[in-house]
Amino acid sequence: MQMKAYMQAVQHSLTTKEKTVLYQGMIERKQSDAGQSFTYNEKGTNACVEVLANETDLFIKRSSDVESTHCFRPLEETKGKVMSEFGLLEFELYTHKYIQSENIIFIEYDVMQNHEIIDRIRIVWELKEDFS
């Protein structure tokens, strides 16, 4: 089922305490028994972000001059990939907390290089169905 929704996406670096509003506005959201997905253009950049969320996994693909893919599973180490003009960079991700419901997607994870934590990030997508 496809529906319009108002969404706000906010990213927090828990290491630097920096907060960034990634998006505020309307989106087209697809929902099914398998989960939900949506796409938006990140605020202040030319990046297109695709989010696919279900009960056990979160997949984020960010496309611009640099393309990145991140796959998250709660309490598991996974890989993130960034492809740029300089080549492919891979890093480890460790997901501390993941919540996916109709109105919120919440992820808190570590970004690691050689098992050393570089940053801890929290992203929250808040979604409200558009009844107009």
Q: Taking the model in full, what pTM does it have?
A: 0.92
What is the tens place of the pLDDT at every residue in 52-69? 999 999 999 999 999 999
Nearest CA to 99 out of 67, 125, 70 is that of 125
Domain ranges of the chain: 2-129
What is the tens place of the pLDDT at every residue in 43-54? 988 899 999 999
Q: How confident is the model at residue 131 (pLDDT cuts 50, 70, 90)?
A: low
CATH, domain range 2-129:
2.40.128.20
CB-side neighbour CA atoms (13 Å) of 129 = 9
